[in-house]
Amino acid sequence: MVRTSYLLLGLVLLAGCSSKPHIVVGSKNFTEQVVLAEIIAQQIEKQTGIPVERKIDLGGTLLAHEALKSGSIDLYPEYTGTALTAILKRPISKDPNTVLSEVRQGYAQWHLSWLDPFGFNNTFAMVVRTAEAQQQHLTNLTEAAKRPQAWKLGVGYEFVERPDGLEGLKKAYNLRINGAPVTMDLGLLYTALQNGTIEMGAGSATDARLTDSEFTALADDRHYFPPYECAIVVRDQTLAQFPQIRPALGKLAGRISDGTMRQLNAEVDRKHRSAADVARDFLAQGGKP
């Protein structure tokens, strides 16, 4: 009996020793988020030596936010415009610094902190085929709205209903649409542009397909779309427990431009590389994809 008791005690102690303090990095369920989560995780491991657990592909915004609040994850990348409208339910604002300040103040109620943004803005991008843009001399949405013919438009399912979506865009530019927009999964948007099903699509500024010269994003010259700067949201408790991660992650601030994020996404989506390998190369090359 004594030996058995000692054996059980030893197993319990061993189990306790094996659960070392670690950080859990999360992400939503699309390529860009997974790549960023890997960059964050590898940066923590490389700079601090703290073990990192990955909980990627969690789902959408609300699921990731609840996981952060509950402590299931310690941090994840989020977008300022998404936080402002989807989480805080506040009106759209156009100024990036104002939006960042508002979300920082709003998230304090949950003891969550926003670090400085990565440097890219994953806002909406109205995309056309480059050949058509060149033929009609189109570089921005004001010019596109002056086209004699109405546009055949393709959008994601949410774009029609969003407060920063279709109706506001039409009013801001007096953009004429040929019938109801074609709603589709965003993964089909560029194929629809290629085959002529649509003439303009509501994509994202960091879409991997925008690395292809076949497509052009028209400038939002009236600044209709709000900012969607990406930054790391982290639990205050985690920052207190692991203070060394703040300066480590601070080194990522301002390191990723729109073009760089597009290229990182393309490495995964178009070249079929793993997010872990893409992140490793990015960090090894000093912030270049």
Q: Say what the pTM is.
A: 0.85
Please name the amino acid found at residue 225. Answer: F
Does 70 lie in the same domain as 107? yes
Same domain, 112 and 137: no
CATH of the domain at 136: 3.40.190.120
Same domain, 116 and 80: yes
Look at the chain and report how many structural domains it folds into: 2
* Average pLDDT, 10 consecutive residues per value, the chain (289 residues): 43 48 94 97 98 93 96 97 92 93 98 98 96 97 97 91 89 96 90 96 95 96 94 98 98 96 96 97 84
Claim to verify: residue 34 and residue 155 sit in the same structural domain: no
Q: Quote the pLDDT of residue 19.
A: 65
Question: What pLDDT does residue 289 have?
Answer: 64
For residue 287, the model assigns a pLDDT of 67
Structural contact between residues 223 and 92, judged by C-beta atoms closer than 8 angstroms: no
What pLDDT does 288 receive?
64
152 shares a domain with 79: no
Please report the pLDDT score of residue 198 as a whole number: 97
Within this chain, do residues 91 and 164 fall inside the same structural domain, yes or no?
Answer: no
pLDDT digits (tens, 9 = 90+) for 49-65: 999 999 998 988 999 99
Separation of alpha carbons 204 and 266, rounded Å: 13
What is the CA angle 266-267-269, rounded to 5? Answer: 55
**Any domain includes 5:** no
What is d(CA 6, CA 144) in angstroms, rounded to the nearest whole number? 78
Which one, of 149, 70, 73, 150, lies nearest residue 110 by Cα?
70
User: So what's the pLDDT on residue 71?
Assistant: 97
Q: Give domain status of residue 7, yes or no.
A: no
Composition of the chain by helix, strand, coil, percent to 5: 45, 15, 35
The pLDDT tens digits for 123-135 are: 999 999 999 999 9
Structure tokens at 158: 């949410």
Q: Does residue 87 share a domain with residue 48?
A: yes
Residues 116 and 29 in one domain: yes
Domain residues for the domain of 53 are: 24-120+230-284
146 and 194 together in one domain: yes
Q: Which two tokens stand for residue 134?
A: 């060149």
**Cβ-defined contacts of 85-89 (< 8 Å, 24+):** 85/163, 85/164, 85/226, 86/61, 86/62, 87/61, 87/62
- The residue to which tokens 């609840």 are assigned: 66
